[in-house]
Amino acid sequence: MKLLRLADRTISILGLLLFGALTGFSLFFTVYFSTSYEEIPYEMGDIVPMVLAVCAFGLFCMEWITRWILKEDSKEKRIRILLGLVLLYTLCFCVLWVKGAGCIPVGDQASVCTAAEGFRNGDYSMLTQDSYEKYLFIHPHQLGLTALIELIFACFGNGNFQAFEYLNCLGAVLCVYSGYRITRLLAKDKRGIVYYLLLAACCFPLFFYVTFVYGEIPSLTYSLLAVWMYLEYQRREKKRCLAACCAACALACLIRNNSLILLIAFVSIWLITGLGKCQWKAFAAAGLLVVVFLLSRFGLCSLYEERSGVSLNEGAPMILYVAMGMQKGEGAPGWSNGYILHAYWGASEFDSDLASAIALEDIRASVSGFRSDPLYMAEFYREKFTSQWNDPTYECFAMTHINGWERCGVVNSMYVGKLHTLMTWFMNQYQSLIFTGVFLWILYYYWRDKPLEDQVLLVTVLGGFLFHMMWEAKGRYILPYFVMLLPMAAVGMAELAERVSAWLVLYNQRQKGKYRR
């Protein structure tokens, strides 16, 4: 039990440090992109009293609505009605956004769609060095996403990327629902559940991303489903929940490699629990999760190798991304600067060993520069940190601004007009509220006895923070972690509201006592 308590305290302290910094930065600064949508993040100051006032007003409104929903009897019925309304609203908003935004796949999105369409036609050249683009030859980790898009094209027609976008709408709905079920397992009372539904209804970065034909929404959908099933299994030890957790986590990892951070979080908590409680079931569950993932990846690669007759390339060495994450490009520090293609395609001519050697040399050069100028290093990583985590939009507009047909006035204004200014302002205040709520959740629950698995979302976010401080930086990479914060933020804010309410009652009682005297 000492090991479990030590692990819980360590996670909580790291969480307080991270979200103390995030809350502070979000109150004083914000990151934004110009409406020309060059992928260059800029930083500007916030008016702290206004941010605090807006957050306080938002908390007051949520508490007022929550009290009405939870008054007297039929509380559960009202919560379920609210859940239905939020899910319906999420679906309608996302579908209307897909119709109005007219977004088309570009860049990596277009490459994956082209590869999937080629596979449907028996063209596997994207897997080889002979193709012009060589996309999957350089990035074979995108094979899982390509397989998903190929399956969608098989069902709805080649090149039908809008089918992917509409499925993203369903994915967003499932994200909200999974978060609701996670919150029910984390919250000590129904106030936190209502808070979550109100917060989820305002998570516009998630809704705007449904037009992004890439792995963000599908992988997040499976990730949140995996967390829900994981917590259900830990509470009830139902084998079907464990099976669903393993399957969902494997799918999330196949679609998006970064989801491996969630898998590592599951395995780490199971191993610590197994050691702390001497439970063989925890070790077995961790082993099963890893085996399912490895078998699914092996099966996917084997399937495409058999279909194509091509041996899959290892692709650009992962150490190249670490080297790039230590460089200053045109945008913020650590952001994409073309280094991967330069080192792997240009300088090394697809020689993985040579590319790795180049990356190691560049890493040494970056480390040497950091040592010679510690102040530069501190500013480099501060800017890398804030450019990713302090962008309230998480690039939801920057990544989807290119359209294939004319947009209506409302949608166009959301990208370049007054609605864009209003929405980014709202998301900035919303982000501050979420960060503050998570900080409060960690703080209030620090000394309480709780199962270690309740920290799984926080462990995943901490892992994501460490990973992206070393890896390539991008605002959109942080979106999944931000959505994972909603259950914790809701419970934290509900706890604050409960304490404030109790303090006000006590204060009123004391005041009445004084008047009676």
Q: Which residues contact 55 (CB under 8 A, 6 or more apart)?
A: 429, 432, 433, 436
Residue type, 281: K
Residue 516: the pLDDT is: 58
Q: How far apart are CA 79 and CA 66, in angstroms?
A: 9
Q: What is the pLDDT along the chain (517 residues), one digit of tens a residue?
A: 788 888 889 999 999 999 999 999 998 889 888 888 887 888 888 878 888 888 888 888 888 888 888 887 778 889 999 999 999 999 999 999 999 999 999 989 999 999 999 999 998 989 988 777 788 999 999 999 999 999 999 999 998 999 999 999 999 999 999 999 999 999 888 999 999 999 999 999 999 999 999 999 999 999 999 999 999 999 988 899 999 999 999 999 999 999 999 999 999 999 999 888 878 888 999 999 999 999 999 999 999 999 988 899 888 899 999 999 999 877 789 888 888 888 888 888 888 889 999 999 999 999 999 999 999 999 999 999 999 999 999 999 999 988 888 888 899 999 999 999 999 999 999 999 999 999 999 998 888 888 888 999 999 999 999 999 999 989 999 999 999 999 999 999 999 888 887 787 776 777 666 655 5
Residue 492: the pLDDT is: 93
DSSP designation for 343: I
> Which pTM does this prediction carry?
0.94
Residue 448 tokens read as 């309480």
Q: Hey, CA dihedral for 117, 119, 123, 125, is it positive or negative? A: positive
Residue 281 tokens read as 């079931």
Q: Which residues contact 396 (CB under 8 A, 6 or more apart)?
A: 204, 205, 208, 209, 476, 479
CA distances from 486 to 63, 410, 448 (A): 16, 28, 20
Residue type, 220: L
Number of domains in the chain: 1
Residue 340: the pLDDT is: 87
38: left (phi over 0), alpha (psi -120 to 50) or beta: beta
Q: How far apart are CA 138 and CA 67, in angstroms?
A: 55
CA 280 to chain centre: 31
- Domain encompassing residue 229: 2-516
Q: How far apart are CA 491 and CA 62, in angstroms?
A: 12
Smallest CA-to-CA distance from 97 within 153, 162, 38 is with 162
